[in-house]
Amino acid sequence: MLSSLTNLLLFSSLITTTLSTSAVTTRYWDCCKPSCSWPNKAQVSEPVRTCNKNDLWPSNGVDPNAVSTCDGGDAYACSNMEPWAVNENLAEWDWCCACYELTFTSTSLAGKKIIVQITNTGGDLSPNHFDLAMPGAGFDGAWVGNQYGGYTDRNQCYLLPEGMIRDGCLFRFDWFMNADNPSVEWREVSCPKGLVERSGCGRWS
């Protein structure tokens, strides 16, 4: 049984779920170290990778015990945790490091699918809830856009650094059609190679 979870939007989806196949979605981006980056969270190949303030993996390897930047440390969520589109109808985003296929059932996204990998957990979410990590999506006191919802216009994405962070923000307005908290049907799936390569984390079957 799954409970009290959150994810990697693409990756990062924060998810809280019970044994139901219907769920709600929201979005966030806080740059904090994902909770699945800590050791011994689950039987996985390795914890989710983190980056330094320059968005690089440390040359001496990633320390799973490094403190999150949100608690005064130097471990950040890597920018490659942003979402990307495989084609017009399927995107890979993606309990710790498990993957789920979400099929949108409302808004302009109805019928589209996305695969997310769980990289974070959150106790403040309602049951059956995926919180998708998207740059520019806002989070609590985050400076990027509104506290809840983040940026409101595609052009605001160009305020972000060029590269994956900006691309992830544009994804929200392009492939994701700026949909506001769409509902989904979900099922667990095998993790695509592309997600595992980005997070560094795969589940043992």
Can you point out the beta strands (E) in the chain?
A: 6-8, 12-16, 22-28, 84-85, 90-92, 99-104, 113-120, 129-133, 183-189
CA–CA separation, 182 and 7 (whole Å) = 16
**What's the confidence (pLDDT) of residue 96?**
82
Active site residues: 30, 131
Q: Is 81 helix (H, G, I), strand (E, B) or coil?
A: helix
**What's the confidence (pLDDT) of residue 43?**
82
Q: What is the pLDDT along the chain (205 residues), one digit of tens a residue?
A: 233 333 333 554 444 444 558 888 888 888 889 988 998 888 888 889 999 988 887 766 678 899 999 999 999 999 888 777 767 765 544 478 888 899 999 999 999 999 999 888 766 666 778 888 888 887 664 556 676 778 899 999 999 889 988 998 999 999 999 999 999 999 988 998 888 988 889 887 5
**What's the confidence (pLDDT) of residue 59?**
64
**What's the confidence (pLDDT) of residue 123?**
62
Query: Which residues are CB-contacts of 159 (< 8 A; sequence separation ≥ 6)?
Result: none
Map tokens 């919180």 to a residue.
Answer: 131
What letter would DSSP give residue 190?
A: P
CA–CA separation, 164 and 167 (whole Å) = 5
What number of other Cβ atoms are within 10 A of residue 90's Cβ?
13
**What's the confidence (pLDDT) of residue 41?**
80
Answer for the pair 122, 111: CB distance below 8 angstroms, yes or no: no
**End-to-end CA gap in the chain:** 16
Domains of the chain, start order:
6-36+79-199 (2.40.40.10)
